[in-house]
Amino acid sequence: MKTILSLSFILFISAGLTSCIKTVDISTPANNSISGSWYISDAANYDKYGWYSYDPGLPGVFNFYNDGTAQYADNTGNMQGDWYSNLITTGYYNQYGDYKVDSHKDFSISVSGNGGYIDLVFDDISFAGNNQFIATYYDGKSIQRYTFTRY
């Protein structure tokens, strides 16, 4: 009888230690999608004296769609065009002004209409959460940094 109880106890403990525990993760995954409505909440320039903000003259809202089309709307009307972002491996300056050489995404916007156009080309784009991304461009003398915030 003692042998049966001991064997039953060992089997019970073994089954308990080797059983699987299933957990469910209910956290929302990061949504680093460019699609949606965005406005430029900050534009800054970096030179040998440091960062300083400036007005980029783009007070409207950009709408980026999953199919690569784009729209820009402000108080003067609407512009239509496209956007794209590719994974590339080149040298670039990141949002902190540091030079890097690795794999990263570039970003480009081209819209026109009402006799005007906007062409923005960035060397790097990085997300700062789900509702903001930062795009940088180096023009040979200084680094421009645009912060896009979800509208």
Residue 12 maps to a domain: no
CA dihedral 47, 53, 57, 60 (to 10 degrees): 130
Domain count, the chain: 1
Residue 15 lies in a domain: no
Question: Tens of pLDDT along 89-111?
Answer: 999 999 999 999 999 999 999 99
Q: What's the domain range around 47?
A: 34-150
Residue 109 lies in a domain: yes
* pLDDT per residue as tens digits for the range 37-73: 999 999 999 988 899 999 999 999 999 999 999 999 9
Task: Note whether residue 13 is domain-resident.
Answer: no
Q: What is the CATH classification number for the domain harbouring 76?
A: 2.40.128
What pTM was computed for the model?
A: 0.78
- Classify residue 7: in a domain, yes or no: no
Q: Choose among 26, 34, 136, 133: nearest CA to 91.
A: 136
Instruction: Answer whether residue 102 is part of any domain.
Output: yes
